[in-house]
Structure 1
C-alpha cells in the first residue's frame, strides 16, 4: 500500500491558484486524483468544464461558482458535486482552500468553443482537451 508523504506532495502553481496533488495515477493511485486548491483573494479561475465528475469540499474561505443554472456560493464546510461536462468558473473575494477528488484521467476543455461542423451535439465542443498536471 503506497504512502505519499507530505514532503512528496506535488505543487503546481497557475496564475489563478496553487494545486497540491496528494494522490493521482502518477503519484500512488491508479484511477483517483485527490488534490488541494488554494486560490488567493480576488482570484478568478478560467471558465472550463471537466469530462468527469468532481467533488469539491471547501476547507476555508468562500467562493462563487458560476454554473449554467446560475451562480452558487459555497463556504468553508460546504461540498459541491460537479457532474461531468458541467461548465464552471470559480471566483473568490477572500480566497479559499478546497480539497477536490475525482477520477483520473480527467480532461479540462473550453465549453464555449464552437462545435466543429458535423460533430456529435453531445460531444464536448472543444477539440482540445487538457489533462491538468495536478490530476495526472
Structure 2
C-alpha cells in the first residue's frame, strides 16, 4: 500500500490547464494514473487522441468536449468515458475542475502537429 501525501502531489502546468498528479506509476501506483485538471475560463486544449481510455468526472464548472466531431456538454457531477484512439478537444467558457483516471503509461497524439508525447502527469 502506498500513501501519496497532498504535499507530494506532482503539479504540471500547460498553457491551457494545471494537472495535479495524485497517483501514477512513478508516484506510488502501478498501472493506473489519477490526476486533477483545473482549466481556467476561455481555454481550449489541443485536438488530440490518447492511446488509452480515460474517465473524467467533473467536480466544478463545465466544458464542451468535441469527441470525434460530436459536441458534448459536461457539468459538475457528470462523468465522461473517453475511448482510446478517439479524436477529442475540450473547451471551457467558465472553467472547470475534473478528476481523471487512466491506464498508465499512455501517449497523447497531437492531431494538428503529429507530435506524440507521454504526458508527465500520467507517467
Instruction: Please indicate the TM-score interval, normalised by the length of the shorter structure.
Output: over 0.9
- List aligned pairs for 1:87-98, cutoff 5 A: 87-98=87-98
SS of 2:7's equivalent in the other structure is helix
State the shift of 1:99 in Å. 0.2
- Aligned-residue CA RMSD (Å): 1.1
Unaligned runs of 5+ in 1: 114-125
SS of 1:3's equivalent in the other structure is coil
Counterpart residue number, 2:117: 130
Moved over 2 A (4+): 110-113
- List aligned pairs for 1:79-90, cutoff 5 A: 79-90=79-90
Counterpart residue number, 1:19: 19
Structure of larger gyration radius = 1
Unaligned runs of 5+ in 2: none
- Provide the C-alpha distance between the structure 1 equivalents of 2:6 and 2:112, rounded to a whole number of angstroms: 37
- List aligned pairs for 1:62-101, cutoff 5 A: 62-101=62-101
Bigger mean CA offset, 16-25 vs 102-111:
102-111
TM-score, length-normalised on structure 2? Answer: 0.96
State the shift of 1:81 in Å. 0.2
- Provide the C-alpha distance between the structure 2 equivalents of 1:11 and 1:111, rounded to a whole number of angstroms: 25
- Provide the C-alpha distance between the structure 1 equivalents of 2:84 and 2:24, rounded to a whole number of angstroms: 18
- List aligned pairs for 1:27-38, cutoff 5 A: 27-38=27-38
- Provide the C-alpha distance between the structure 1 equivalents of 2:64 and 2:109, rounded to a whole number of angstroms: 20
